[in-house]
Amino acid sequence: MKRFAAVVSASLVATGLAATPALAAQEQPTQQAQGQQQSQNFSDEQLQNFASASQEIAGISQDYTQQLQGADGADAQQSIREEANQKMVQAVQDNDLQVEQFNQIGQAVQNDPQMMQKVQQMAQQKQ
């Protein structure tokens, strides 16, 4: 389960999709409560889509990490990062999720061990 959580976290960070701490700190408490309440209402289909997108993103991240290591110069690295980010966003969208939904589910999964376990089981069944 920790491995899957690490993949989810890495996927969120790698895609630049995770909310920054500064943005999260600016949220009003009522917005945070609404977000937490809403996060518990994800359908099984949304969770399955999240699991599938996360697996695709992990593969993309791994491929592009290798390319980054072999890239010469900051411009080449930036180009590789942009291409990887586009592919990751496309993977989210191809799994019938919007980036915002993916982020919300990712945050909920990180904060809810039961949801994490459910998504992990969905990901394993998909393999």
Q: Is residue 108 part of a domain?
A: yes
Q: What is the pLDDT of residue 126?
A: 72
Q: Which domain holds residue 55?
A: 2-9+45-126
Q: Is residue 33 part of a domain?
A: no
On whether residue 49 sits in a domain, the answer given is yes
Instruction: Judge whether 114 lies within some domain.
Output: yes
pLDDT confidence of residue 26: 39
- Mean pLDDT by groups of 10 residues along the chain of 127 residues: 51 43 38 48 94 95 92 92 95 96 94 94 83
The number of distinct structural domains making up the chain is 1
- Nearest-CA neighbor of 123 among 14, 40, 7? 7
pTM: 0.70
Annotate 65-101 with DSSP letters as a single string: HHHHHH--SHHHHHHHHHHHHHHHHHHHHHTT--HHH
Is 100 domain-assigned? Answer: yes
Asked whether residue 60 is assigned to any structural domain, the reply reads yes
Q: Distance of CA 80 to CAs 55, 94, 105, Å?
A: 20, 21, 27
